[in-house]
Amino acid sequence: MKKFNRWFGKNLIRIYAVMGFTYLFIPIVYTFVFSFNDYVRSNLVWRGFTFDNWTDPCAPLDICPALGNSIKIGLIATAGATLLGTLIAFALARYAFKGRGIVNTLIFLPMATPELVLGASLLTMFLDLGFNPGFWTIVIAHVMFCISFVVVTVKARIASLDPRLEQAAMDLYANEAETFRRVTLPLVAPGIAGGALLAFSLSFDDFIITNFNSGTTITFPLYVYTHAERGLPAQANVIGVSMFLLALFVVLAGQFVGRKRKVSA
Amino acid sequence: MVAIARKSGGANPLDSLRQKVAMPYLLLLPGMLWLIIFFLSPILTLVSTSTKVPGMGIGEFVQEYRWANYWDAITAMQTQFIRTFFYAIIATLLALAISYPLAYAIAFKSGRWKNVLLVLVVAPFFCSFILRTIAWRQILAQDGIVFKTLEFLHLISPDTRLTSSAFAVVTGLAYNFLPFMTLPLYASLERIDPRTMEASGDLYANGITTFRKVTLPLSMPGVVAGTLLTFIPAAGDFVNAQILGNPSTTMIGNVINAQYLQTTNYPLAATLSFILMIAILIIVLVYIRKSGTDELV
């Protein structure tokens, strides 16, 4: 017993962490299990095991077009927000200029404003201007709320760079453009990739802002929400779990490649 | 610096200096324009809508600069406002209590699994937020596994309900925004030099004292960032209350959402939105001031 107590005390934090991860993954396990449910109309009760939902994920009307919209919007919004956010991050991290306080405030405010207010105010403006909400208003909204997150991520990376690396490049007669292209940019790249990944995941999973500015366009989260009351097909679980596994695979593969490159370099 | 200017700037060194001054503004311009057009001006539109009053036609509103709209909205929705901030604060504290040991374990106890565990913290994001909330509803439901187990152990009477309750809404909020708490906590814990903790041990501090006097104060920036990133979306959320709650757990987000998209009472919705935004901003700024972090971004 004494031995157990000591082991317990030593590993308390690990036990706690395992419990934390369990909590985090319970709904995903549930979603995964019910993706194999032989459901009729609504996927609430277990009725038997089937692979049908996995072999035909596009069977329910609208579900795959909704997923397609989410991916398209995610990619366009990520590209836009990453470009705009990275430029701002370089300006903030590398230059002294007047109006810095205003810029910082304008970056901070969208993050301190609830999504509901961002979405609702944008819709108010679009309606005032007589704009019909749809695919492009969703893209505009997503770029807007992702910019700040990209700025914060990329800025942190630039700030952590060793300035001596760039000085060394200049000492070796690289001009400013060359130094930027061959030293600074490759060093900041992981930060930009991190910002882009964050932007994509925020955009892909966004419901609240999208719900306000979507018009008749349907994204995957909107599909899930609108069908939740009438009965959600198990194919929604298939898509959710697939995206989760895909994301896990992409990030882990990226880590693995990164580690390998570091070893060989 | 002189050498660089000569190399890149061409004949007149002043030209390159002028370029240097303009450069940050050129970099800022596109992003700032985007935020001014699609963030700042919508907020101004929101404020202008908030003082309108119903006009003659149905769904028509005229600008009367009726600032009393704000007072009316606050008195009408007082309960929902108080409930919203109460839920959001409890959910934030709950997320902090769950995340801190988790982030600590990842930062100090995970060895070569560190990166994998970090990915696992963010990965649930990709399995749609709404899908996971619906999953919680099914798990906690009367015929779900949690309820059946508790009932079997006689820890719960058959007529209590886990879903459609304040408990479900608050745990749902804490669950959904957990990664926003864990990541900043991890980032600040990871930056702590383990030698500071060793030094504390060498000076005869026990584990608890070391944590209280060294680790916790050094991780405060992460605590501040994490609590803010959890509190803000939790206070503006309506999905958890919608899926996991009942009519008596209505949050201000549900009211705003319904006023916009169902009742189409735009002035009231705009008024409530602006009050929510300002209330959150005040809380955030006071909190930042109190905790002594001045860098906002």
Give the ipTM of the model, two decimals please: 0.88
Please provide the DSSP assignment of A36-105 as one string.
Answer: TB--BSB--S---B-SHHHH-TT-STTHHHHHHHHHHHHHHHHHHHHHHHHHHHHHHHH---TTHHHHHH
Q: Which domains does chain B have, with CATH numbers?
A: 76-291 (1.10.3720.10)
Do residue A91 and residue A199 come from a single domain? yes
pLDDT higher than 50, residue B3: no
pLDDT higher than 80, residue A254: no
Q: What is the pLDDT of residue B295?
A: 53
Residue of A nearest to B111 (CA): A14
CA-CA distances (angstroms) from residue A46 to A38, B206, B261?
Answer: 7, 51, 34
- The model's confidence at residue B145, banded by pLDDT at 50, 70 and 90, is confident
Highest mean pLDDT (candidates A185-189, B33-37, B160-164, B186-190)? B33-37
Residue A37 — φ and ψ, nearest 5°?
-75, 135
pLDDT higher than 80, residue B37: yes
Contact residues, chain A, for B7 at CB < 8 Å: 175-176
Q: What is the pLDDT of residue B8?
A: 45
Do residue A199 and residue A69 come from a single domain? yes
Residue A148 placed within a domain:
yes
How near does any CA of chain A get to the CA of B157, in Å?
A: 22
Do residue A21 and residue A87 come from a single domain? no
**Mutant choice from A83, A124, A237 vs B, greatest count of B C-beta within 10 A:** A124
Q: What is the pLDDT of residue B177?
A: 93
CA-CA distances (angstroms) from residue B237 to A171, B74, B169, B268?
Answer: 53, 18, 10, 18
Give me the number of domains chain A comprises.
Answer: 2
pLDDT higher than 80, residue B4: no
Give the helix ranges, DSSP H, for A172-233: 176-179, 185-204, 208-213, 220-228
Q: Which residue has the higher pLDDT, A4 or B187?
A: B187
Compute the mean pLDDT over every residue in chain A, rounded to the nearest whole number. 89
Residue reference for tokens 């970090």: B118
Residue A40 placed within a domain:
no
Do residue A145 and residue A70 come from a single domain? yes
Does the distance separating the beta carbons of B232 and A112 come in below 8 Å? yes
Q: Which of residues 103-122 of B touch A (CB under 8 A)?
A: 104-106, 109, 115-117, 119-122
Contact residues, chain A, for B280 at CB < 8 Å: 112-114
Whether A144 and chain B come into contact, CB under 8 Å, resolves to yes
Residue of A nearest to B104 (CA): A13
Whole-angstrom distance, CA of residue A188 vs CA of residue A182? 11
Q: Which of residues 160-179 of B touch A (CB under 8 A)?
A: 175, 178
pLDDT higher than 80, residue A259: no
Angle between helices B129-140 and B145-152 (to 10 degrees): 30
Q: What is the pLDDT of residue A260?
A: 66
CATH of the domain at A108: 1.10.3720.10
Q: What percent of chain B has pLDDT over 70?
A: 92
pLDDT higher than 90, residue B196: no
Residue A208 placed within a domain:
yes
Do residue A126 and residue A203 come from a single domain? yes
pLDDT higher than 70, residue B248: yes
pLDDT higher than 50, residue A50: yes
A221 lies in which domain range?
61-237
Whether A151 and chain B come into contact, CB under 8 Å, resolves to yes
Contact residues, chain A, for B30 at CB < 8 Å: 83-84, 87
Do residue A24 and residue A109 come from a single domain? no
Per residue in A167-217, pLDDT (tens digit) is: 888 888 888 888 888 888 899 998 999 899 889 989 999 999 999 999 899
Contact residues, chain B, for A122 at CB < 8 Å: 38, 42
As a residue count, chain A comes to 265
Does the distance separating the beta carbons of A85 and B116 come in below 8 Å? no
Structure tokens given for A204: 């892909």
pLDDT higher than 80, residue B257: yes
Whole-angstrom distance, CA of residue B90 vs CA of residue B231? 9
Counting Cα atoms < 13 Å in the Cβ hemisphere of B140 gives 23
Residue A233 placed within a domain:
yes
Per residue in A12-38, pLDDT (tens digit) is: 888 888 898 998 999 999 999 999 998
Q: What is the pLDDT of residue A124?
A: 86
Q: What is the pLDDT of residue B15?
A: 61
Task: Tell me if B92 sits within 8 A of A14, measured CB to CB.
Answer: no
Do residue A126 and residue A201 come from a single domain? yes
pLDDT higher than 80, residue A112: yes
Residue type, A237: N
Do residue A216 and residue A121 come from a single domain? yes
Residue A255 placed within a domain:
no
